[in-house]
Structure formats: structure tokens, C-alpha cells
Structure 1
Amino acid sequence: MQFEKFRAYCLDKPGAHEEQPLGNDSFYYKLGDMVFAIADKGEEYRLTLKCDPQQAIDLRNTHACVKPGYHINKEHWNTFLMEAVEELPLSPWIDQAYDLTLSKLSKKKRERLGLSA
């Protein structure tokens, strides 16, 4: 998935916004103050997505292009090495990352973001 397509897909999610806290090469996609996806366009283009712990392991065991989260909690995050990921559809994993993050938001935070409780 090309970066612009990934970016548009993430930003199309209700309440999602983008931040660049580490500089020009790292893009964080958040719901409120919680991250659900990270794109790193540095030397090696990679996407890091929040993931259910068991599914994270299963995905790593099934696809060589999926690694434990890069510089982040390896139990709850997977990193997709984009040079080798073309055969793997990412939209379901982005959806899951968003949904997992949304499920962790309090009712008050959801309301502030204009999301249903």
C-alpha cells in the first residue's frame, strides 16, 4: 500500500488525525491521544499497526514481511515491511487497529471526538 493511500485510509476513519511528533519521516495516526497506526517513511518504509496479541503472533508466523512492533510494545503491535507486503491486504488490519483503539476510549473521549458511545 502506497503511503498516500495508507494516509488517506487512516484519515478517513471517524475522529482520526495525523501527527508528526518525531520529525518528517514518522506519521502517527491517532484517535484522541491514542495511536492506532504509524507510518515510517525513512530508509525503510514500514507501517506499524495495533493488533490483537494472538493475531499479532499468527500474522508474524504466517507472513515473513510482518515483524514484532518496531520500537513499540511487541505484544500489541506489528510492523509491516512495505517492500515485501504487496500481496497482503492491509485495510482489514488498519480497521482492526482503529477498532481496538476505539474500544479503549472512554465514553467521554468518544463524545469529545464526535463518536457514538
Structure 2
Amino acid sequence: MNIEQLRNYCLSKKGTSEGFPFDDNVLVFKVLGKMFVLTGLQSWEKGEAAINLKADPDYSEELRTEFSSIRPGYHMSKKHWNTVYIDEGELETKLVLKLIDHSYEMVVKTLPKKLRDNLV
């Protein structure tokens, strides 16, 4: 997976926008204003691609136990966010996409019902 594939996949999800709310390096994807993916562009340029994804706390623990490329969220809540190191070669693209989907769904389910209904 490269940065353009990540970008296209995230933007294909309903209600998604992208931006740089922190600085020119951190690309953030939001669903209706709530973050579900963060990535540092410099990490992709260095061949050390990593993304931060929201996850259910129990699922996070399972993932961290099973995959050394999935660690507690860097500069994020360690309970609710994981950092997924894509370029370490352990994770298949299919799994990374599944984790992005999970992050999106975790955020969507916290939105008010009226907003969630607009995504259908």
C-alpha cells in the first residue's frame, strides 16, 4: 500500500474529508469531522509508513498480541488507538484495509443518530 492508495481508500468512505489540522506533515482523515486515520507524510517518504487507527480496546489488545507491527497509538490514547506500521512487511493490505474499516466504524457509531443516518 502506498499513500495514494490509502488516500483513495479513505476518501471512498461516505462523509470522509481530509486535512492537515496539526501541521503540514500529519494527514488526517475524518468522518463528519471526527478523526479515524492519521498518518505522518514523512514516514511514507522514509519508507517507514505508519497510520494511527481507532480500535475497540479489547480488539486492540488482540491485534497487539498477534502482530508486532501493531502497537499502542503513537501520541494518541493507548487504549483506543493503534499505530499500524505498514512498511514492516508483516501485514497484508487486506488486513490494513479491514483495520481502516474498523476505525471508521468505531467513529461512526459514536456520532449522533441524525448524523449516522445521513451516511446511509
If the length of structure 1 is used for normalisation, what is the TM-score? 0.88
Quote how far apart the aligned CAs of 1:86 are. 5.2
- Determine if the alignment matches structure 1 residue 61 to structure 2 residue 53: no
Task: Give identity over the alignment, percent.
Answer: 32
Per the TM alignment, residue 33 of structure 1 is displaced from its structure 2 partner at its CA by 2.1
Q: Which runs of 5+ in 2 are unaligned?
A: none
Seen in structure 2, the aligned counterparts of structure 1 residues 11 and 86 have a Cα distance that, compared at 3 Å, is: farther
By how many angstroms is 1:25 displaced?
A: 1.6
Q: Secondary structure at the match of 1:78?
A: strand
Name the Cα RMSD after superposition: 1.5
Q: Which residue of 2 is the match for residue 29 of structure 1?
A: 29
Superposed, 1:21-100 pairs within 5 Å as 21-43=21-43, 44-85=48-89, 87-88=91-92, 89-100=95-106
Whole-Å Cα distance in 1 between the matches of residues 110 and 6 of structure 2?
A: 23
Cα deviations across residues 61-97 of structure 1 (Å, max 9, x unaligned)? Answer: 1111111001011111100112204533211111111
Structure 1 residue identity aligned to 2:98 = P
Q: Which runs of 5+ in 1 are unaligned?
A: none
Secondary structure of the 2:4 match is helix
- Looking at structure 2, the residues matched to 12 and 32 of structure 1 have their Cα atoms a distance apart, in angstroms, of 13
SS of the residue 1:64 aligns to = coil
Deviations 1:14-62 (A, max 9, x none): 0011010122221111112211111112244310101011110111111
Query: Would you say 1:105 and 2:111 are equivalent positions?
Result: yes
Answer 1 or 2: which has greater helix percent.
2
